[in-house]
């Protein structure tokens, strides 16, 4: 029997797909453009917005006779034993292959924001904690480990990472982001993409683009970012993750900018993404995003119009299930309402990706693992490393930390004895298990209370909750005050409860009006401080909260952003001194709950000044973090220089650990542009290097600055490098500058092209 050309792996992928498309009917092509969500709730109790009213009825057995593009969340919908789930997915794939005329399996996708969102799978720290670690190589390891687990279970595509840049910390999904700086988001997010893709899993960048800039920090609210903010803050992380990370998929955002929904924007999804950036992968809809063009955005009057808008813009795949790209679309094509060329274009992209994944090969068989352990010791060790690196010591003015090993410690607070205090809203226990009461979490998640008792076996540790996370009941304050008064030190463990759509204080759809601690936790902290007993504040949160009210009144303050299943031991290790804190803030910590939104990327009018009585200066700036050891910076090499607008320049500094224990310093390079054609942020991050140093060890870091890194979008919309003065500032945070190099750029204004340098490489030498 002669093998059809599309089955022949020796032929180029394009030739194979062209041959296959020529054999397919319209319905068979369209079948490749949607997924199905088997087991999705239709009663209003689902895990996605509008899931109940956007899930269509269909005959699955009949539907798959045409083929199928994707299978949605076989593991991430309900608590399924991983081994049984893998066998069930393999069975579903065999059924799809047997039912269709061409025998093409579906792409199986899952969420993997902070680990494989499956029952009994490792729950890693959330992306905001990745940003706090300032350690892209470690995040790449995490991405690779997650990718291996996904691939071993038969999953092809992961819906991560989130590359939205925080613009307003009141937004509920801050926990899912990497931080408020596009360079940090881009470098760390790209590392995760590399890891996931190296395991053979398609990384999906989201949410493209502008989602985090929603007005008033409301989920899905209109985006009012201007052209330059969009180009210089929102887009760079996506460009880096595509160009340097090799991501093969992009998810269109729910939101709209200047009246045009992202899911119906051909300038964004085709003009920029494909024609300018050269992207050749697939664009998928955010869940129900195509339907929202009709129901929420109201730019389409019928399902057929919504489908055409999305296809024309460049969305290839309807997720999570079929409604707009199914029979409605086929009928619209036959009626001449939707050009058949749009179907061919999208189907070709989908099939090229399936070819790349080996799904068009004649010998393809679904993978069924011999044994399944989605939370092995190696995963937990990796989760512990990232958690430990991400804990930020905000303040320790009198050296109260580390705690004395035999101290009397009163642990107080609603987050101390709750395992879920460690997890973000896209972890399986927080995302799915609330719909399955009584089902165990499936993984071991030590609480901070348990972990602290293990760290300090000779200490006398007492506990009381004091209050709930968000309820207004202060009745527990009396006992909390009593416990604190009996102790040498009080550890107040406060923070968020992750959830979805108002069921938590952080997470998707859990936006807040201001940055006060949830519920009566602030009042509880006031009561504890009033006892006169030194208080160590430990925050387990998904966003920063205003702490100015307690500044100068606390013995110490520690910030952890949902640090994952090993977060309890990691934070306890910082409190005991076993772990030397090395995290740095990926988001500013505000002084007061109002006066927001504010991130450090402010032009002059966004800074404190005489034109307003409100001072937005944060209490702790972006990049801030303390250590139990001390570092000196010396031998700075960065003399004033003159270079061309296409030139480069090296700036170096030696860092010495002058303490008596090992620690990590994060050297940060910022750019200040004194005069530009448009207003610019006062400072912005353009490079950084994490340095692990033993006691008395030194290391010299050299940053290779290129003028491309000074480029910005000018009044005409071009990205340019302008002649004039620049300052390169080396510091421990955006506000703590240790050395400055002054440059003068000479020559003409230079427009940067598609190959512009996106990162500032760093070289480390150890003495």
Return the residue matching tokens 């109790």. Answer: 45
Tell me the pLDDT tens digit for each residue of 243-301: 999 999 999 999 999 999 999 999 999 999 999 999 999 999 999 999 999 999 999 99
Quick check: 135 and 184 in contact, CB under 8 A? no
Residue 578 confidence (pLDDT): 98
Instruction: Return the SS3 of 547.
Output: coil
Tell me the pLDDT tens digit for each residue of 305-331: 999 999 999 999 999 999 999 999 999
- Mean pLDDT to the nearest integer, 473-477: 97
- Angle of helix 567-576 relative to helix 377-390, nearest 10 degrees, comes to 50
Tell me the pLDDT tens digit for each residue of 353-402: 999 999 999 999 998 988 899 999 999 999 999 999 999 999 999 999 99
pLDDT tier at 53, thresholds 50, 70, 90: low
Q: CB 715: neighbour CB atoms within 10 A?
A: 10
3 or 29, higher pLDDT: 29
- Pick the range with the lowest mean pLDDT from 99-108, 380-389, 443-452, 750-759: 750-759
Return all residues near 80 (Cβ < 8 A) that are at least 6 apart: 74, 88, 118, 119
Residue 85 confidence (pLDDT): 95
- Mean pLDDT to the nearest integer, 560-568: 98
Dihedrals phi, psi of 80, to nearest 5 degrees: -115, 130
C-alpha–C-alpha distance, residues 331 and 327, integer Å: 6
Return the residue matching tokens 């006060």. Answer: 516
Instruction: Count each helix (H run) and each strand (E run) in the chain, helices first.
Output: 21, 27
Quick check: 453 and 409 in contact, CB under 8 A? no
Among the listed residues 177, 182, 36, the one whose alpha carbon sits nearest the alpha carbon of residue 108:
36
Tell me the pLDDT tens digit for each residue of 409-421: 999 999 999 999 9
Residue 44 confidence (pLDDT): 45
C-alpha–C-alpha distance, residues 700 and 702, integer Å: 7
Residue 55 confidence (pLDDT): 59
CB half-sphere exposure, 157, CA atoms < 13 A: 31
C-alpha–C-alpha distance, residues 272 and 313, integer Å: 11
Residue 638 confidence (pLDDT): 84
| Max CA pair span of the chain | 86
CA 199 vs CA 144, 254, 345, 373, 631: distances in Å? 6, 29, 28, 17, 38
Judge whether residue 43 has pLDDT over 80.
no
Among the listed residues 649, 416, 451, 650, the one whose alpha carbon sits nearest the alpha carbon of residue 524:
416
Judge whether residue 1 has pLDDT over 60.
no
Question: CA angle, 452 as apex, 449 and 453 as ends, to 5°?
Answer: 85
Tokens encoding 563: 């640090």
Judge whether residue 476 has pLDDT over 70.
yes
C-alpha–C-alpha distance, residues 360 and 259, integer Å: 40
Per cent of the chain over pLDDT 70 is 97
Quick check: 544 and 586 in contact, CB under 8 A? no
C-alpha–C-alpha distance, residues 614 and 292, integer Å: 39
Quick check: pTM over 0.95? yes
Among the listed residues 200, 278, 271, the one whose alpha carbon sits nearest the alpha carbon of residue 242:
278
Question: CA angle, 406 as apex, 405 and 410 as ends, to 5°?
Answer: 95
- Mean pLDDT to the nearest integer, 208-218: 95
Residue 427 confidence (pLDDT): 97
Return the residue matching tokens 């596009």. Answer: 182
Among the listed residues 464, 506, 495, the one whose alpha carbon sits nearest the alpha carbon of residue 482:
464
Judge whether residue 37 has pLDDT over 80.
yes
- Mean pLDDT to the nearest integer, 651-665: 98
Among the listed residues 671, 546, 680, 711, the one whose alpha carbon sits nearest the alpha carbon of residue 602:
680
Distance of CA 499 to the CA centre of its chain: 16
């Amino acid at each position: 029997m002669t093998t059809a050309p599309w089955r022949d792996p020796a032929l180029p992928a394009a030739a194979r797909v062209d041959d296959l498309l020529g054999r397919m009917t319209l319905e068979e092509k369209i079948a490749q453009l949607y997924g199905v969500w088997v087991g999705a709730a239709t009663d209003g109790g689902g895990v996605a917005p509008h899931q109940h009213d956007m899930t269509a009825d269909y005959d699955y057995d009949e539907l798959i006779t045409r083929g199928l593009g994707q299978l949605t969340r076989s593991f991430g919908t309900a608590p399924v034993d991983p081994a049984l789930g893998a066998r069930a997915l393999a069975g579903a794939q065999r059924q799809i292959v047997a039912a269709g005329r061409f025998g093409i399996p579906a792409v199986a996708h899952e969420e993997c924001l902070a680990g494989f969102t499956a029952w009994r799978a490792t729950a890693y720290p959330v992306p905001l904690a990745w940003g706090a670690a300032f350690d892209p190589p470690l995040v790449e390891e995490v991405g690779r480990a997650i990718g291996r687990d996904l691939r071993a279970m038969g999953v092809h595509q992961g819906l991560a990472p989130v590359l939205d840049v925080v613009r307003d910390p009141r937004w509920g999904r801050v926990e899912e982001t990497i931080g408020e700086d596009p360079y940090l988001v881009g470098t760390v997010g790209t590392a995760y993409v590399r890891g996931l893709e190296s395991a053979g899993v398609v990384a999906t960048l989201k949410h493209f683009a502008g989602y985090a800039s929603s007005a008033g920090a409301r989920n899905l609210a209109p985006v009012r970012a201007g052209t330059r903010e969009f180009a210089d803050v929102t887009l760079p992380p996506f460009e880096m993750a595509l160009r340097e990370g090799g991501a093969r998929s992009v998810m269109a955002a729910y939101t709209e900018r200047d009246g045009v929904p992202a899911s119906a924007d051909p300038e964004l999804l085709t003009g920029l993404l494909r024609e300018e950036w050269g992207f050749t992968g697939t664009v998928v809809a955010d869940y129900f995003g195509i339907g929202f063009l009709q129901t929420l955005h109201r730019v389409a009057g019928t399902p057929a119009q919504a489908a055409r808008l999305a296809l024309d813009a460049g969305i290839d795949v309807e997720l999570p299930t079929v409604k707009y790209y199914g029979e409605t679309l086929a009928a619209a094509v036959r009626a001449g309402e939707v050009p058949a060329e749009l179907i061919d274009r999208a189907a070709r992209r989908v099939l090229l990706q399936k070819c790349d994944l080996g799904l068009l090969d004649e010998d393809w068989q679904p993978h069924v693992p011999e044994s399944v352990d989605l939370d092995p010791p190696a995963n937990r060790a990796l989760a512990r490393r990232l958690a430990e690196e991400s804990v930020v010591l905000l303040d320790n003015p009198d050296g109260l930390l580390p705690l004395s090993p035999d101290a009397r410690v009163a642990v107080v607070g609603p987050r101390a004895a709750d395992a879920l205090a460690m997890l973000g809203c896209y972890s399986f226990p927080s995302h799915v298990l609330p719909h399955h009461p009584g089902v165990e979490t499936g993984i071991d998640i030590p609480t901070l209370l348990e972990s602290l008792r293990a760290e300090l076996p000779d200490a006398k540790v007492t506990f009381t909750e004091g209050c709930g996370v968000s309820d207004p009941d202060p009745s527990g304050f009396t006992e909390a005050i009593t416990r604190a008064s009996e102790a040498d030190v009080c550890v107040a463990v406060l923070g968020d409860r992750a959830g979805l759509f108002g069921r938590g204080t952080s997470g998707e759809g859990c936006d807040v009006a201001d940055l006060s601690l949830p519920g009566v936790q602030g009042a509880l902290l006031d009561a504890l401080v009033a006892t006169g007993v030194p208080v160590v504040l430990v925050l387990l949160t998904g966003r920063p909260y205003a702490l100015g009210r307690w500044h100068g009144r606390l013995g110490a303050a520690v910030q952890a952003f949902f640090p994952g299943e090993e977060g309890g031991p990691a934070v306890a290790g910082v409190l005991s001194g076993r772990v030397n804190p090395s995290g740095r803030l990926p988001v500013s910590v505000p002084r007061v709950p109002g006066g927001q939104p504010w991130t450090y990327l402010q032009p002059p009018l966004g800074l404190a000044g005489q034109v307003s009585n409100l001072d937005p200066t944060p209490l702790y700036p972006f990049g801030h973090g303390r250590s139990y050891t001390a570092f000196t910076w010396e031998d700075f090499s960065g003399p004033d220089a003159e270079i061309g607008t296409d030139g480069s320049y090296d700036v170096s500094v030696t860092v010495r650990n002058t303490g008596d224990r090992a620690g990590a310093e994060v050297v940060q390079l910022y750019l200040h542009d004194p005069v530009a054609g448009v207003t610019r942020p006062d400072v912005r991050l353009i490079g950084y290097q994490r340095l692990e140093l033993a006691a008395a060890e030194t290391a010299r870091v050299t940053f290779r600055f290129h003028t491309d890194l000074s480029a910005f979008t000018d009044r005409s919309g071009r990205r340019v490098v302008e002649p004039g003065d620049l300052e390169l500032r080396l510091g421990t945070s955006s506000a703590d500058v240790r050395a400055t190099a002054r440059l003068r750029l000479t020559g003409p204004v230079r427009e940067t092209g598609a190959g512009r340098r996106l990162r500032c490489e760093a070289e480390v030498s150890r003495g």
